[in-house]
Amino acid sequence: MTTATTRVLLLHGIWMVGLTMRRFAHGLAQAGFEPEIIAYPSIAGGPDAAVERLLAALDEGPAHIVGHSLGGLSALQAARRTPRPPIGRIVCLGSPLCGSEAAHVLGRVPMSHLYFGRSADILHEGCCDWPADLEVGMVAGSVPHGLGALLARFDDIHDGTVSVAETRTPALADHIVVRASHSGLLVSAAAIRQAVRFLHEGRFDHATGDGAALAVG
């Protein structure tokens, strides 16, 4: 595993475009990283398109990956390919590793395939399996503002789209919750700080006030 690289590939989530990752990319650049935004058709292409473009970028050299929601799931799928691509560390932002209840609910709505396209399966199933030596960190949100809050009934802290429980799995190297909604993770200074810390060290900074008000375990 290559963790010394300063190159970072950024993947947006469903219904979004590469432009939505610019604020995060700027924050990474200020911290000394070399960010590259990977855009892909999240509906027409889904995770397969994201993985294909990620692997093409990784052919040019090793990199860390930061993925928002579906982008994080796609990054984990790429990491499972053989031969192993040269991925350093992965930071997921609000990715439903255990599957999305909001996606399940919306999936029961007529014509829902138009909303999810080729991303439906991975959003329903999640992705909890990746190489054991790959360090993956999760930044989850706790501000309950988003479409998912209108669709799904969450029994846990959530970011308006994905619950904190849906972002947890024992395979994670570290997990932290910050005060941001699902889309707010893209512009959250706390999320950027924590991503920088994880890319450098493989651990988040739990001593800061970013997630101190929550029991994040």
Partnered with residue 139 across adjacent β-strands are: 93, 176
pLDDT of 103? 76
What are the structural domains, with CATH classification, of the chain?
7-125+134-201 (3.40.50.1820)
pLDDT category of residue 4 using cuts at 50, 70 and 90: confident
Cα four-point dihedral sign 28, 30, 33, 34: positive
| Location of structure tokens 């989850």 | 140
Model-wide pTM > 0.85 = yes
More confident residue, 106 or 178: 178
Question: Sorting pLDDT into bands at 50, 70 and 90, what band is 104?
Answer: low
User: What is the Cα–Cα distance from 151 to 153, expressed in whole angstroms?
Assistant: 7
Which residues have CB under 8 Å from 179's CB, separation 6+?
A: 141, 142, 143, 188, 190, 210, 211, 213
Selection from 173, 168, 175, 174 nearest residue 97 by Cα: 168
Q: What is the pLDDT of residue 195?
A: 99
Tokens of 105: 């609910």
Of residues 211 and 28, more confidently modeled: 28
pLDDT given for residue 113 in this prediction: 65
Of 23-32, 108-117, 130-139, 202-211, minimum mean pLDDT range: 108-117
CA distance 94 to 104: 17
Do 94 and 186 meet the contact criterion of CB atoms below 8 Å apart?
no
User: Who has greater pLDDT, 126 or 154?
Assistant: 126
Q: Is the pLDDT of residue 217 over 60?
A: no
Give tens-digit pLDDT for 134-173.
999 999 999 987 665 566 677 789 899 999 999 999 999 9
Cα distance between residue 155 and residue 161, in whole Å = 13
